[in-house]
Amino acid sequence: MLALFLPLFLVLLLVGMPVFFAMLMAPGLMLYATGMERDVSLLFRNIYNGIDSFPLMAIPFFMLAGELMNRGGITMNLIQFSQSFIGHVRGGLAHVNIMSSMLFAGLSGSAVADTSAIGSMMIPAMEKNGYSRKFAAAITAASSVIGPIIPPSGIMIIYAYTMEVSVAALFAAGIVPGILIGVGLMAMVALMAKKYDFPVADPKSTWTERGQATKNAIFPLFAPVIILGGIIGGIFTPTEASAVATAYALIISVWVMKTVKLRDLPHIFIKGAQASAVVLLLVELSNCV
């Protein structure tokens, strides 16, 4: 029965069925084909059991925190902070793209959120500055991979739940590899900048300008410190940390920076719920295979 799952699943994908429904229909059709219709109820029970977990509650909270910070203009503050320090070197916008992705990874933990937030701003800016659209898209996609590595990471939470390992240990183990990937990408961009004569984005910022950019980005930069410090220090669990991150993002976006209005919150909550549903539906259906 399991041997037939993959071919049937691939056929359903090839005819254009969404992954969620393909993962649901493949085992369901096999149960009917083998005369085990009464076990269909077990299929739905496994779907519920797939997300009946306290650690998985961290995923929608982290997704919502990333959506709040993105809509609150915090992404732009991170980009300006990165640009003030490395925007003056050759290939500066490519370096800014990578550094911004590293900083944003510490807020959202999602490659999709990273790509949509950073890419929507950086790809047009890089193209306008003289980079090819293909290169701008490629460096954005490559740097967004850092999102699930530098904590908080949704993938790490799912892995910890599935393999029954410590989320805090995975978070602590992802910091150095995530930074090394970012540094490696920046080293490659530096080599390509000399070979292909990449443009210089901006003149070198003064320390006053850098100080102002740091001041604007100080609240977003504190978010990873609060999250990781609280988890590693044993102050709260990863799930509780996700709730703290959401509350922190809400406070600085609505009341401190005042870039999000109360009337914007319902739309932000809906977007966060939609992003969370995509991940959680796939997690719950993985228990049916």
Q: Tell me, yes or no, whether 204 and 277 share the same domain.
A: yes
157, part of any domain:
yes
Q: Tell me, yes or no, whether 136 and 185 share the same domain.
A: yes
Q: Tell me, yes or no, whether 180 and 250 share the same domain.
A: yes
150, part of any domain:
yes
pTM > 0.85: no
Question: What's 66-127 look like in SS3?
Answer: HHHHHHCCHHHHHHHHHHHHHCCCECHHHHHHHHHHHHHHHHHCCHHHHHHHHHHHHHHHHH
- For residue 279, CA distances in Å to 9, 89, 274 come to 18, 38, 9
223, part of any domain:
yes
The yes-or-no verdict on residue 138 having pLDDT over 90 is yes
78, part of any domain:
yes
The yes-or-no verdict on residue 139 having pLDDT over 60 is yes
255, part of any domain:
yes
Q: Tell me, yes or no, whether 103 and 17 share the same domain.
A: no
**Pairwise pLDDT comparison (69 vs 97), residue with the higher score:** 97
Tell me the pLDDT tens digit for each residue of 76-131.
Answer: 888 889 989 988 888 999 999 999 999 888 877 777 777 877 888 899 989 988 89
289, part of any domain:
no
199, part of any domain:
yes
The yes-or-no verdict on residue 65 having pLDDT over 80 is yes
Q: Tell me, yes or no, whether 91 and 162 share the same domain.
A: yes
Q: Which domain holds residue 119?
A: 55-284
Tell me the pLDDT tens digit for each residue of 34-58.
Answer: 767 666 677 777 777 767 777 788 8
Q: Tell me, yes or no, whether 73 and 160 share the same domain.
A: yes
Q: Tell me, yes or no, whether 45 and 71 share the same domain.
A: no
Q: Tell me, yes or no, whether 79 and 186 share the same domain.
A: yes
Instruction: Give residue 214's pLDDT.
Output: 92
Instruction: Give residue 187's pLDDT.
Output: 95
Q: What ranges in 235-289 are assigned the alpha helix state H?
A: 238-251, 265-285
The residue out of 10, 33, 49 marking a domain boundary is 49
62, part of any domain:
yes
Question: Which among 57, 65, 27 has a CA at the least distance from the CA of 43?
Answer: 27
Q: Is 16 helix (H, G, I), strand (E, B) or coil?
A: coil
Question: How many domains, the chain?
Answer: 2
Tell me the pLDDT tens digit for each residue of 178-213.
Answer: 999 999 999 999 999 988 888 887 788 899 999 999
In contact, 82 and 99? CB cutoff 8 Å: yes
Instruction: Give residue 287's pLDDT.
Output: 61
Q: Tell me, yes or no, whether 150 and 280 share the same domain.
A: yes
Q: What is the mean pLDDT of residues 226-233?
A: 83
Q: Tell me, yes or no, whether 104 and 186 share the same domain.
A: yes
Q: Tell me, yes or no, whether 150 and 31 share the same domain.
A: no
Q: Tell me, yes or no, whether 98 and 11 share the same domain.
A: no
The residue out of 28, 49, 70 marking a domain boundary is 49
Longest dimension (CA), the chain: 74
